[in-house]
Amino acid sequence: MTVDPNPSTPAADPGSLSCGDGGSQSVSGSEQTVRVTGTCAELTVSGSALTVDASTATVGTLRISGDRARVVAGGIEVLVVQGNDGAVESAAGIGSVDLSGDRTTVQAAGAIAAATVRGQDNAVRAVGGIGSMTVEGRGNQVG
């Protein structure tokens, strides 16, 4: 696990990171589970088979690179995913989604204002609907 050099709050638990109120954090590595709390201006997740529980956090920009990443967040403004076989879930809406890869699922409990999907067999779903959409590739389900 890698931590941003400017953490807002030290973590009380080694498997936990805090953004405090507007800080940034980074999670990298493989086959780890990490909890993130607070209000994150930016959260970067890179590696393989990472599970990030940010269900009590709100995230300005969530950047995911790598394969088999699983992220649950309380809310996401901007989501950027580059990788395969991932899953992202937001307990609220998502401002924008930019997804490049294959077999990744994005789910929002609210609306998604804009979605760009490139790749194959991805699924982007929003309870509140999806505004503008750009979809390139085969087998993608957006709606």
Let me know if residue 143 belongs to a domain: no
Instruction: Give the pTM.
Output: 0.89
Number of domains into which the chain is organized? 1
Let me know if residue 52 belongs to a domain: yes
pLDDT reported for residue 7? 42
Give 15-30 pLDDT, tens digit per residue: 899 999 999 999 999 9
Let me know if residue 26 belongs to a domain: yes
Let me know if residue 65 belongs to a domain: yes
Where in the sequence is the domain holding 73, given as residue range(s)?
A: 16-138
Q: Given pLDDT bands bounded at 50, 70 and 90, which one contains residue 10?
A: very low
Let me know if residue 4 belongs to a domain: no
pLDDT above 50: residue 9: no
Let me know if residue 10 belongs to a domain: no
pLDDT reported for residue 14? 62
DSSP string, the chain: ----SS-SB--SSTTEEEEEEEEEEEEEEEEEEEEEEEEEEEEEEEEEEEEEEEEEEEEEEEEEESSS-EEEEEEEEEEEEESSS-EEEESS-EEEEEEESSS-EEEESS-EEEEEEESSS-EEEETT-EEEEEEESSS-EE-
Q: Given pLDDT bands bounded at 50, 70 and 90, which one contains residue 4?
A: very low
pLDDT above 50: residue 32: yes
Let me know if residue 118 belongs to a domain: yes
